[in-house]
Amino acid sequence: MGIVAGIWSWLRGSRRRAAETGGASNPVASPPASGVSSARPDTNWNDPFGSFGSELQISGASSFFQTTPQPAPPAVDPVEKDWLARTIWGEARGESAAGKRAVAAVIMNRVASRRYPNSVQGVVTQHTYVKALGRDIYQFSMWDPLDHNSALARSVTDRDAQFRTCLEIAEEALSGRLSDPTGGATMYYAPAAMYPPGATPRWDFSKLRYTGQIGGHRFYVEI
């Protein structure tokens, strides 16, 4: 009976002490501020990305893998693409891919320039009537109806491997993915196509700056 009495006396004393201290022998910690936890995770947990490397963890932080959405590339006009691809083919089908891209860059530089029409079709079919000759002179001679190249360019299809390449380059150019290898050129000519050999176009070269040669074409910027 002495042992039971002793236990009972101890229990009554514990209850009295708990009442005197507010009824809680193990105070409960206040919750952390919303969205912030100061507790560290279990150190045995595998954290390959170091997400818990800092003392405070922000529960509302953006995902580690979240990226800023990129704008979609501009839609490619199929008519403009066709005109550009056919012009590249007519002007540079014998050139490497780099030579074809250079011709595409010149056309796109003209489209962007205030000196020329603001569309591919307008640029490549631009012509001027020369009274002394009694006929139109085309900026891109391959579109001159009297040039045999014109009929070939109008009739070529994607069964032609070179034309398929030209279609791909036209897509690059019109979607803004083409890097200009000409340094902003808006003029070019092929020395090998000049007659007599060694002749040059009837341009005012004092108003042009030479930017280099790519394949069989020499390129110039208007100044």
CA atoms within 13 A of residue 72's CA, in its CB half-sphere: 3
Q: Residue 156: pLDDT above 80? A: yes
Q: Is residue 208 part of a domain?
A: no
Q: Is residue 82 part of a domain?
A: yes
**What's the pLDDT band for 17 if we cut at 50, 70, 90?**
low
Q: Is residue 38 part of a domain?
A: no
Tens digit of pLDDT for each residue in 20-31? 555 444 444 444
**Start-end of H helices in 128-207:** 148-155, 161-174
CA atoms within 13 A of residue 173's CA, in its CB half-sphere: 33
**What's the pLDDT band for 74 if we cut at 50, 70, 90?**
confident
Q: What is the CATH number of the domain that holds 130?
A: 1.10.10.2520
Closest CA to 129 of 114, 139, 118: 139
- State phi, psi for 191 to the nearest 5 degrees: -55, -35
Q: Give how many domains the chain has, as a whole number.
A: 1
Q: Is residue 216 part of a domain?
A: no
Closest CA to 111 of 147, 74, 136, 146: 74
Q: Residue 186: pLDDT above 90? A: yes
Whose structure tokens read 């995902």? Answer: 63
Contacts of 143 (CB under 8 A, 6+ apart): 87, 90, 124, 125, 127, 150, 153
Name the DSSP class of 193.
Answer: G
Q: Residue 39: pLDDT above 90? A: no
Q: Is residue 189 part of a domain?
A: no
Of 32-41, 67-76, 78-87, 142-151, least confident by mean pLDDT is: 32-41
Q: Which domain holds residue 110?
A: 78-181
* Cα separation, 209 vs 16, whole angstroms: 101
Q: Which amino acid is at 103?
A: V
Of 40-49, 83-92, 103-112, 178-187, least confident by mean pLDDT is: 40-49
**What's the pLDDT band for 71 if we cut at 50, 70, 90?**
confident
Q: What is the mean pLDDT of residues 109-122?
A: 98
Q: Is residue 64 part of a domain?
A: no
Of 6-10, 116-120, 179-183, 199-203, least confident by mean pLDDT is: 6-10
Q: Residue 42: pLDDT above 80? A: no
User: pTM for the whole thing?
Assistant: 0.68
Q: Are 182 and 102 in contact (CB under 8 A)?
A: yes
Q: What is the mean pLDDT of residues 177-198?
A: 96
